[in-house]
Chain A
Amino acid sequence: MKPLRNPRRLPVSRRQVLRGLLAASAFGAATKLTGCTAASEGEGEGETSSGGGSEDLVVGFIYVGPKDDFGYNQAHAEGAAAIAALPGVKIVEQASVPETTEVQEAMREMIDIDGATLLFPTSFGYFDPHILELAAEYPDVQFFHAGGLYEDGMPDNIGSYFGYIDEAQYIAGIVAAYTTATKKLGFVAAKPIPQAIRNINSFTLGARSIDPEITTQLVFTGEWVEPVKEAEAVNSMVDQGIDVITCHVDSPKVVMETAERRGVYTSGYHANQAELAPEGYLTGAEWDWTSIYTQYVEWSQAGDTLMNGGIPHIVRGGLESGFWKLSPFGPAVSDEAQQAVEAIKEQFADGSIAIYKGEIKDNEGNVQIEADKEFDQKAVELETMDWLVEGVEGKVS
């Protein structure tokens, strides 16, 4: 029970506060004692209103794994925590929700019981069919989804957002190139999907922009969360003489810890994993959801919605729009590398650099991007990427 969320704001006397508290606790006691009756519908409403007043914007977040996974879900939860601190915003969260009817039920409860009007179901696989179904059923609630899957013709209350984190992987590749002694890098990825392939290629291109002799050994584990195989992959990479390892799995924890134990360098992904590998952590490609979530809240508080056209259906960007950030450099990163990174970052910030600029060959020797061609980050060719650049040792299938 939180009868007064913002006591500082309300000019009330102590007596009023006491009376309010008394009433609230009586209400609380009553609901507990009669909690098992048919009154639960009204009770749900009571909770919403006593929870924060009618002006509060209730925002629901749903994660596919735990909120403290040092990975994908933690990155979103950090963004959620940032907007929870904004005035007039209340968040409700639910973690470890699989991509089945369970996520539909979670969304439904957040809308019906908690009164959420903005929902952020963050896992990629929540979109089709789950968000599509619920969005049609609740046309007044807005659904925002990470992944850029919105297309014309879908319900008007769906929005998509996503960032070009491969830019950060490109920079991480540069840092790795300055650090490696053996010129062999390792990449542990979950599945050969275009997003992961793009990260692998950008990381490798970044490293080879510094030293073209560098190679990246690639291992796919097959599942988003597969700790045993992730550890095996790291161990075998270290045995092969690889000395910088990064990954694209849901929770990079095992990769980072195993590599640290084996005494090699690591580069993080999704969130900051520096505390897992204090010695070997170089930097990391982190999502920065705080800015986009704050943006959505500001739009909503100004009265903009997806339905009235005030909020665009697709929001995506790179460093210039604050979608990603780099982890602070670890102790092993040289000054030279840091300076190189700062220079490249400026180029990303003003958009004067293209990662995919011809000529680029794949690792079977075929020219994939011709010499005079250059792909903008928005290019559809990059979103369907199914080939690995020269220097990657591995196969897509």
Chain B
Amino acid sequence: MTAIARQKLEAICLPMAAILVALLLFGIFCALAGANPLGVYGSIYRAAFGQWSAWQNTLLRASPLMLSALCTALPAHLGLVIIGNEGALIMGGLGAISVGLALGTSLPPLGVQVAMALAGMLFGGVWIAIAGALRHYRGVNETIGSLLLNYIAIALLNHLVGGPMKDPSSLNKPSTFPLADLNMLGTIPGTRIHWGLVYGLVACAIAYVLMQRTTFGFAARTAGGNIRAARIAGLPVGKLTLAICFLAGSCAGLAGMVEVAAVHGRANESLNVGYGYGGILVAFVARHNPLAGALVSVLLGGILASGGILQRSHDLPDATVLVFQGIVFLCVLYSESLYGRFAIFQEREALPASRKATV
């Protein structure tokens, strides 16, 4: 077996083993909580992946996570820890609804949708680019900066939907005016999954190619590896930072646009339900690899999709699904520390060499 094949095998086996261990731990937890672990496993499988309807549920939940995860994953290649996903998502939603309402029905629906998507990406992108600029030009810690920008975005959302953009008929749940039905993003034919899933998959694929297969991505990774070396090599670190942050934010902004255009049809506090924070989790578990991010999103989507059945069929409390999520991700993150620890995944060339020496 070649070294690369071994590495790949290790990268597949370790997370799988981590998930198995997590299932075991969660089973013990369920047994302590008074539920039959085997029954619980069966239910989780059925609710998340057991049939086409369950798959649709899982994929629906996964799609905003994929886009939001990129907001953390992309800047990570540059050595930046950005956690402003929630804020970028909200800004994207606000941008999308503003453009959608401004255009109304003056353009054909496809035109409006494209404009909304671009506006969402622009708003979200600029939001995270602000965090990047503060980092690069003023030395403000990007993690704290982007976190604080979340609060500003949430406050802005509440202000706009409660004031200037409020639809007076939305009395007890302040919201903006609704999008025209015509302009709503539909579902993928034959399913109830909206197009956000396709956006997410495409964005993950583009992000992967961009970071791994282009000179731009290489430059970014170089700057992330050693910023001083990158400067000496003549790389435009400032431009790279801004560009990557903009791209990252635009992904989360697109997720906000999808929430507005495919789910709610308007912007309101339901934009702020934690997809951003879910995305951070996904990015870290996927080790900031966009393709792995898509898979981890589906896994997390599946875990969340099983939350209902745990409550309804096993009488477990509603927080059980969070316990499950926590155990899975802790195990996966812990498994990262085990890379290189198992001889089976290592090169064996060293072994014969030492034998020769002793003979």
Are both chains from one complex?
A: yes
B214 interface residue per 8 A CB criterion: no
Q: Select A95's contact among B162, B173, B304, B311, beta carbons within 8 Å.
A: B311
Residue of B with least CB distance to A32: B38
* Number of cross-chain contacts by CB at 8 Å: 99
**Are B173 and A35 within 8 A (Cβ)?**
no
What is the bound-complex CA distance between A101 and B275, given in angstroms? 12
Tell me which residues across on chain B come within 8 A of A93, comparing CB atoms: 311-312
Are A109 and B47 in touch, CB under 8 angstroms? yes
Verify A195–B312 contact, CB threshold 8 A: no
Residue B39 CB within 8 A of the other chain: yes
B171 at the interface (CB under 8 A from A): yes
CB pair B172 A109 closer than 8 Å: no
* Binary CB contact string for chain B from 259 to 300 against chain A (1 if under 8 A, 0 otherwise): 100011100111001100000000000000000000000000
Minimal beta-carbon separation of A250 from chain B (angstroms): 12
Instruction: Let me know if B171 and A194 touch, CB within 8 A.
Output: yes
Given A36-B50, A109-B47, A67-B42 contact (CB < 8 Å): no
Which of B53, B269, B319 interacts with A96 by CB under 8 Å? B319
Chain A CB within 8 A of B309 CB:
yes
Which residue of chain B lies nearest to A66 when distances are taken between CB atoms in the complex?
A: B318
Which residues of chain A in 115-154 are interfacial with respect to chain B, using CB atoms and an 8 Å cutoff? 124-125, 129, 147
- Are A94's CB and B61's CB within 8 A? no
A211 at the interface (CB under 8 A from B): no
Q: Is A384's CB under 8 angstroms from B171's CB? A: yes
A17 at the interface (CB under 8 A from B): no
- Report the separation of the CA atoms of residues A43 and B50 in the bound assembly, to the nearest whole angstrom: 11
Beyond A99-B270, A99-B273, A129-B265, is A113–B309 a contact (Cβ under 8 Å)? yes
Q: Is A397 an interface residue (CB 8 A)?
A: yes
A124 to B163, CA, bound (A): 20
Q: Enumerate B149-197 residues with CB–CB distance to A below 8 Å.
A: 158, 162-163, 171-174
Minimum distance in angstroms from A313 CB to a CB of chain B: 19
Q: Is the CB of A100 within 8 A of B42?
A: no
Bound Cα distance A31, B312 (Å): 17
A20 at interface by CB-CB < 8 Å: no
Contact of A100 among B273, B305, B313 (CB under 8 A): B273
Q: Is the CB of A32 within 8 A of B42?
A: yes
Q: Digit string of B11-30 for contact with A (CB within 8 Å is 1, else 0)?
A: 00000000000000000000
Closest to A28 in B: B39
Cβ contact within 8 Å between A102 and B61: yes
Instruction: Name B's A-contacting residues (CB within 8 A).
Output: 36, 38-39, 41-43, 45-47, 50-51, 53, 57, 60-61, 158, 162-163, 171-174, 259, 263-265, 268-270, 273-274, 304-305, 307-309, 311-313, 317-319
Top 6 closest pairs, chain A to chain B, by CB? A35-B42, A95-B318, A96-B318, A40-B50, A98-B273, A193-B172
- A-B contacts, 28 of them at CB < 8 A, read A32-B39, A35-B46, A36-B50, A66-B319, A94-B311, A96-B318, A98-B270, A98-B273, A98-B274, A102-B61, A102-B304, A105-B305, A105-B308, A108-B53, A109-B47, A109-B308, A112-B53, A124-B173, A125-B268, A125-B269, A129-B263, A191-B174, A192-B162, A193-B171, A193-B172, A195-B171, A397-B162, A397-B163
Excluding A96-B318, A108-B57, A192-B162, 13 further A-B contacts by CB distance (< 8 Å) are A35-B42, A35-B43, A36-B50, A94-B308, A94-B318, A97-B308, A99-B273, A125-B268, A191-B162, A191-B174, A194-B171, A194-B172, A223-B269
